[in-house]
Amino acid sequence: YDIPALRRLDVAHHLPAQQDYKLIEDMGGSRIVTHAEGCYITDGDGNRILDGMAGLWCVNIGYGREELADVAAEQMRELPFYNTFFKTATPPTVELAAKIAGLTGGKLQHVFFNASGSEANDTVFRMVRHYWKVKGEPNRKIFISRWNAYHGSTVAGVSLGGMKAMHAQGDLPIPGIEHVRQPYWFGEGRDMEPREFGKLCAQAIEDRILQVGPENVAAFVGEPVQGAGGVIIPPEGYWQEVERICRKYGILLVADEVICGFGRTGEWFGHQTLGFTPDLVPMAKGLSSGYLPISAVAVSSDVVEVLKTGGDFVHGFTYSGHPVCAAVALRNIEIIERENLVGKVRDDVGPYLNAALKRLEEHPLVGETRSIGLLGAVEIVADKKTAARFGGKEGNAGPVVRDFCIDNGLMVRGIRDTIVMSPPLIISRQQIDDLVDIIRRSLDLAMPKLKA
Ligand code: PLP
């Protein structure tokens, strides 16, 4: 590749996701990633970088899986596209729906397909409102979700999400969405026992339900573990309380598994790890390990029985159930099963990452580390005792440490003052040691640059 030319074209024509375009221009263009293999990406300057983010929380089986390329090519030759609008379906689409129903288990026996996680949440939004109308309770329109949640970048996704900067830019949320506090123990609850704090956060949901009237509430939506919000692992008992509250008021419970799904937390789904039973489950990312864009919403039989009495559900996308994406997703799941990646996360590399991160807590800048499966976070503080942040406010340290990590060969994200990670599920113990060593070194390098 002619990398300097590509970077010039990038500045001249390409608008990358979630970026300050002026900054990209001043940098002379984006980093051009040209190759990837296993757990490593390679950029145009020849840097080999350990991918602590599995792309964007998605390349669960790692890079370079030839068999996925073969499956895609075979399916393209056989049938590159057909839709599901005309009382039609394709073999891989139907097989994938059945496969997902088997993995989610219980009452989640039906699957609606989309192309992205955001679309999956839009589907949830529209399906849930339609459900309540069909059921004869049309006032149940309100969705309750949490501050700092991430549910996507479409209008409904941003609205359900709790990112204030995203709300501000789009004059969102749309009406009918209520945000409550997140179960962020390190940031907001350290003066309490975690369990007690988790209860308090769940109580905030019940308080809001009572405030707006239970008869007006359609659903509660939450990521089992908030990902883009900073890998917020809820205290034990939180989800059981949330589930109890939803059941008490007859409210649907939606678990956004876009990040947590497909082995990330050490079970197939985050709600299985955390022990609760949702009614709808949007999923994406690990469904195809990012090799092709596909997402799904698993829906309980109870919900579908009601939908069956409502005529057409006038909702769908051109690429709902795309056969090539479905064929790739099926093979991706087969690889996860064949290589026992879920068990490996649960019993081997997940606990290993947790122990390696715990050792990092000796570092003077580390206030807390936490992980569940292969989803981890490091909290950077100016003062370990008070957990004060650098510069007296949130967000100064994360980007500095992240940049040192990338310069030293590790791709991670810096969210406010938290370094987050979500490596491919195939990562080895040695690679986890490398990952944690680079974070430690980067914290050392950042120290003189950060001002208390
Ligand atoms: N939901 C969650 C929990 C996510 O983390 C994301 C993306 O990061 C989305 C939804 C949106 O998915 P997509 O970017 O595929 O639209």
pLDDT in tens, 248-272: 999 999 999 999 999 999 999 999 9
pLDDT over 90 (residue 451): no
Give the residue, out of 59, 60, 258, with the most ligand 1 atoms within 8 A of its beta carbon, to mutate for a pocket test.
258
Q: Residue 415: CB partners within 8 Å, gap ≥ 6?
A: 228, 229, 230, 398
The predicted structure's pLDDT at residue 39: 98
413 CB less than 6 Å from ligand 1? no
pLDDT in tens, 153-191: 999 999 999 999 999 999 999 999 999 999 999 999 999
284 CB less than 6 Å from ligand 1? yes
Q: What is the largest CA-CA distance in the chain?
A: 65
The predicted structure's pLDDT at residue 288: 99
Report the pLDDT averaged over residues 375-390. 97
pLDDT over 80 (residue 310): yes
pLDDT over 80 (residue 452): no
Q: What's the CA-to-centroid distance between 193 and ligand 1, angstroms?
A: 31
pLDDT in tens, 51-62: 999 999 999 999
Please say whether the beta carbons of 152 and 161 come within 8 A. Answer: yes
Question: In terms of pTM, does the model score above 0.95?
Answer: yes
Report the pLDDT averaged over residues 281-297. 98
Q: What's the CA-to-centroid distance between 388 and ligand 1, angstroms?
A: 30
The predicted structure's pLDDT at residue 187: 96
Atom 10 of ligand 1 has which residue's CA nearest to it? 151
pLDDT over 90 (residue 300): yes
Dihedral sign computed on CA atoms, order 227, 231, 232, 236: positive
Q: What's the CA-to-centroid distance between 297 and ligand 1, angstroms?
A: 13
pLDDT above 90 covers what percent of the chain?
99
Q: What's the CA-to-centroid distance between 384 and ligand 1, angstroms?
A: 32
At 105, is the pLDDT very low, low, confident or very high (cuts 50, 70, 90)?
Answer: confident
pLDDT in tens, 24-50: 999 999 999 999 999 999 999 999 999
Q: Please provide the average confidence, as pLDDT, over all residues in the chain.
A: 98
Give start and end residues of each alpha helix (H) in 105-191: 117-135, 155-160, 164-170, 185-188
Q: Packing angle between helix 429-446 and helix 397-407, nearest 10 degrees?
A: 120
Dihedral sign computed on CA atoms, order 127, 128, 129, 130: positive
pLDDT in tens, 57-102: 999 999 999 999 999 999 999 999 999 999 999 999 999 999 999 9
The predicted structure's pLDDT at residue 157: 98
Q: In what order do the strands lie in the sheet with 217-222?
A: 108-114, 295-300, 280-283, 252-255, 217-222, 142-146, 177-180
Ligand 1 atom closest to the CA of 295, numbered from 1: 15
The predicted structure's pLDDT at residue 325: 98
Cα separation, 311 vs 343, in Å, equals 42
**Location of structure tokens 């999923």:** 283
The predicted structure's pLDDT at residue 220: 99
Please say whether the beta carbons of 128 and 141 come within 8 A. Answer: no
